[in-house]
Structure 1
Amino acid sequence: MGKYFGTDGFRGEANVDLTVEHAFEVGRFIGWYFGKEHKCKVVIGKDTRRSSYMFEYALVAGLTASGADAYLLHVTTTPSVSYVVRTEDFDCGIMISASHNPFYDNGIKLINDKGEKMQEFVIDEIEKYLDEDKKNLPYATKENIGCTVDYAAGRNRYLGYLMSLALCSFRNMRVGLDCANGSAWMIAKNVFDALGAKTYVINNEPDGTNINTNCGSTHIQGLQALVKEKHLDVGFAFDGDADRCLCVDENGDVVDGDAILYICGKYLKNKGELADNTVVTTVMSNFGLYKAFDAAGISYEKTAVGDKYVYECMSENGYRLGGEQSGHIIFSKYAATGDGLITAIKMMEVMVLGKQTLSQLRRGFVSYPQKLTNVRVMDKAAAREDADVQAAVARITEELGDRGRILVRESGTEPLIRVMVEASDPDDCEKYVDQVVEVLRKNAHIRK
């Protein structure tokens, strides 16, 4: 991770950590970098945060000042930007979003011409440019100045693509959708209505400040209540930019990313479509997932946390399915990034064609008890590398033995240390997480 860009773009509080000047300069550099030999074309999407418009205009100003043409998808999902970039003639894409973060944060996600997260060597060049004292890039003049193009048509083509992926009608299926007051607020209902489902939608009235607020994949209780109250077949919860999806089964129980990987992994294996019989996970996946995969005869890979690393492993080895417990699920046959709507469509496919409920499909997967605490700290690296913290982790690892595990890591997108313990005894999870948090507090790492 660099000074500005983490595992999922340049993210921080709007006009505090990430300013309009930053956005303008990122636009300036991208327009110049990709426009050295031809007229640069960049497609831009944004989520529903109030600050997204501000950053959109700043990026457009920078891009056009460097001679690039900016194509605006307006409010849309991160996966739609990826889709448009990889299927049409664009040099790169930009998504303005802080994903699941609160409304006052925002971010700039950069996507390469293949629809993947931008290469690190390009990010490194942008980092160097942002730290220069003198911004000496040439300005475009006369007819070389870039223009702005309304490109809502690109978003509409993405909607058509989503609908084309459904292998069956969703008729007679009662589906709940929690759109997190974010990017999916219109798209999700349009897709599921068109595919024949009876939809019940919540949190689809964004006002610029309510994105992710007690809703969506990070606050799934509202969707659970809706599914139980309306006796729905299934519910899907998205995050702010709709690259994540978590599910709720017909009983109101949460089906997280690990369970989705298990269900879809078995489905693809049975169809003979699970490449190399392998699913890609991260180190945060539950012990229970690996136990279930072993029982099902499915192999697995483990990567560092971040859908970026999951996709890299998939791309390098030709794997077809991978993802994170948080709901970033990648079907590499259909997308180069996590796509919450594709995940929902494919889960519907498994249910409808298999003629099983979601609770029936997840049988065979039992999660180990887990405790995850996010600790807001002053300095992530200093907190994680603290000798007392490392000593506590080593002691707990030894005490747990083969009964569980502890993982202490830095968030790639927020000023957090994540402390996670899995164990056969839930009391051990609570006890050991508290012990590490107490060391962080005692050594004055916790931000007040």
Structure 2
Amino acid sequence: MIPYYFKLAWLSIRATPLLSLLMVLIIAIGIATSMVAYTITYMMSKHPLEAKADTVFKVYLNAWNASRPYKEKNGKEQAADLLTYMDYTNLSTAHKNSKIVKTHTPVAQHKALIRTPQQAKAEAQMRYMYTVNKSFFTMFDSPFLYGAPWTTQSDEKGGLDVVISKPFNDLVFKGQNSVGKPLMIGEHTFTVSGVLDTWHPVPKYFDYASYAYNKPHDLYVPFKTQINSQLYLGPYFPIYCPSLPENITFHTILESDCLWLFLWVELNDSNQRDAYSALLKDYDEQQKQLGRFPRPINSYVRNISEHFVYAGVVPEHSKMAVWLAFAFLAVCLLNCMSLLVNKFYNKRNEIGLRRAIGASKQQIALQFGCETVLIGLVGGIFGLLLAQVGLLTARNIFHFLNISFMQMDALLVISTLILAVCSTCLFGLWPIYKAIKIQPSSQLKSL
């Protein structure tokens, strides 16, 4: 019976091609507009490390000793999301003596001229790089195309090793396996220990929030190497100091209360957050006894999702855009509903005849319900095509951002079709109700 009603629906659509096409286009435009806005917002807020959502945390430490708060949110003072080198060193020791911390890594930055030994100095390019521990790559599930992170010895002693990204490897080494090859970073000769495969977590959580949708840097060197080799370039070194040292050098920054590095920890178990918070509380008290940490707040941790909310990684205006887009979809569906009312009313003679020969109201409703489903499905398919065009346009306009959150995954594709069909059926209930209320006797008289 259902296939028969879908056949009748198809014949009805073919009988009124212009009206049916208009309804399909109205649905498609509404679906495309809403799904483009939703796709971008959904991909922007999608968790980039779902498997470790409750075990990886960013440390916020009460190390700011200026008279003014480091940052306030909703009228409440916040702990600093950056650490001093002194606090990082102290917490690293505490982590080694703790059974709840699986691993940790600092995330800092350096900028230098990069070239191969075969290139002249004039050909060197200025590039940013991350300085991290080797645990950075395992903590954040970074995939390797060639090689691996540097050794534990390089981590502890500060070896001249570097991990590079796939795009950088393609540019400098023509995509070949570059493990073991030399690379000049400033005046130092580093050795490539590994090449990352394509890896671009979106949003990029381990960097500054303002760069959450930019690509990661192409180079990673041991944090200890930055310390030992004093990899420091003043104008490009982001620091936040309660009061600047008189003579700013890398050495004075290390000994000062200047904040300049992030600290991420991975716990052994998702239930150990409170235990780690207690560790930070103990550290707070120790530092207060030493005359540090004067702010009237505690240190704490945030997981990646909480960090996104705190940092405003997903802008509020993008959420508003989604609501506006779905409001536009509702307007489109209201217009489609009025067209369906008109179309079903024009079939009143057919309805009266079918009712006269024994068709029930339920069968009439089923017939027009199948037609509504078919219109919604075709509108959804066209809406998907228009959405892809819209995302491609957005990708070209915002070419400086990561294109991965301007692509619909399989879940969004299926959701789009379901939304198109269900919303069309919802708004088609009133036209169907009006159709089944038509009295057969009054229509038969006009035949």
TM-score (norm 2): 0.21
Q: Which has the higher helix share?
A: 2
Q: Which has the higher strand share?
A: 1
Q: Which has the larger radius of gyration?
A: 2
